[in-house]
Amino acid sequence: MSGSPSAWDLVTVPARQGLEAVDILRRGSCEGVGPVLHDDGCGTLGFVVPPGTAAGWDMPGSVCTETDGRGLSLVAPEPPVEGSGWLLPPGEAEGVTDPGVLRAALGEAARLIRAADSCF
């Protein structure tokens, strides 16, 4: 990543769906995946997305939080949110995750999870 973005939003999803989405993004997206946080309990993942994403984010099962102006920075190895850690730290990940690409990956991940759960 060429420098850390100073303003960004964070899309938070359940860990299972987030991990599936990371795999989908890493396998097939030409845009790739940006930095990803996990909470200490590993119950959720947070995808770093461009600032302004929160204003239009409406995907069920996820939350997008605006971080601009809160003094949070994306500098590895320290995560910007207390009680979190890096799954994909800045420097190892692309710039930020494109919200449209993330939305598609999260939708595909949800479908895969439903299909897997219906088999058991």
Could you tell me which of 82, 72, 89 has the C-alpha nearest to residue 35?
89
pLDDT score of 6 more than 70? no
Confidence grade of residue 94 (pLDDT, cut at 50, 70, 90): low
Question: Each residue of 36-81: pLDDT tens digit?
Answer: 999 888 799 999 999 999 999 999 999 999 887 565 667 666 676 7
Q: Give the C-alpha separation, 14 to 49, whole Å.
A: 17
Per-residue pLDDT, averaged over 75-102, amounts to 80
For the chain, how big is the Rg over CA atoms in Å?
14
Domain assignments of the chain as residue spans, ordered by start: 9-113
CB 76 within 8 A of CB 37: no
Non-local (6+) Cβ contacts of 45 within 8 A are: 12, 13, 14, 15, 18, 19, 21, 22, 36, 37, 38, 87
Across the chain, mean pLDDT equals 83
**Predicted model pTM:** 0.85
